[in-house]
């Protein structure tokens, strides 16, 4: 696995872990730091954490795979999640997800090659009164339609193009 600037990132993570070792329960703050530094917590990073904190890789991997905040593979700059919980699903959130996957050419769980988008099929996010809902990062959009999500995606793509020009 090739990680850009791996040595620099490991050094930064080690600095953070030194601080966390001075407090009770250093694992969770370390995992949050690792996710922020690397964009994911792949097995080689888990092994570094294991050695430094004295926690088994199996335990670390269990925590990483349990919490949705953590990921084994890097996610895109814009994570698009479409809720498929009961309230959203009965209000046709599947068509919203189909619009996202069709527009981006990605299946749920995939990240675009340019690292711009990750598509996720999520469960209830607690906005049932606005069903169906989708998220882009932390922004929640309710009463979603296929047209609305495609418009948002195209706006983001245009904004990203303008940043790079």
pLDDT the model gives residue 164: 74
Sheet holding 78-83, edge to edge: 117-122, 78-83, 134-136, 139-141
* Domains of the chain, residue spans: 6-66, 78-164
So what's the pLDDT on residue 112?
93
Residue 2 confidence (pLDDT):
58
pLDDT for 140: 96
**According to the model, what pLDDT value does residue 163 have?**
87
Task: Please provide the DSSP assignment of the chain as one string.
Answer: ---TTHHHHHHHHHHHHHHHTTSS--HHHHHHHHHHHHSS--HHHHHHHHHHHT--HHHHHHHHHHSTT--SSPPPSEEEEEE-SHHHHHTTHHHHHHHHHHHHT--TT-B-TTSSEEEEEE---S-GGG-S-EEETTEEE-S--HHHHHHHHHHHHHHHHHHH-
pLDDT in tens, 30-44: 999 999 999 899 999
CATH 3.20.20.30 is right for the domain spanning 78-164: no
Q: What is the pLDDT of residue 157?
A: 96
Q: Which pLDDT score is estimated for 8? A: 94
Residues of the chain with pLDDT under 50: none
Q: What are 65-85's pLDDT values in tens digits?
A: 998 779 998 889 999 999 999
């Amino acid at each position: 696995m090739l990680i850009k600037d791996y040595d620099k990132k490991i050094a930064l993570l080690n600095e953070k872990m030194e601080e966390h070792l001075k407090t009770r329960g250093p694992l969770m703050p370390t995992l949050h730091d690792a996710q922020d530094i690397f964009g994911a917590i792949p097995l080689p990073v888990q092994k570094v954490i294991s050695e430094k904190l004295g926690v088994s890789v199996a335990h670390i991997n269990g925590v990483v795979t349990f919490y949705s905040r953590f990921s084994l593979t890097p996610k895109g700059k814009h994570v698009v999640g479409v809720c498929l919980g009961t309230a959203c699903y009965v209000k046709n959130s599947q068509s919203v997800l189909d619009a996202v996957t069709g527009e981006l050419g990605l299946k749920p769980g995939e990240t675009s090659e340019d690292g711009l988008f990750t598509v996720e099929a999520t469960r209830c996010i607690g906005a049932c009164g606005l069903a169906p809902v989708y998220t882009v990062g932390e922004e929640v959009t309710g009463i979603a339609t296929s047209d609305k999500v495609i418009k948002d995606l195209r706006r983001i793509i245009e904004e990203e193009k303008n940043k790079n020009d």
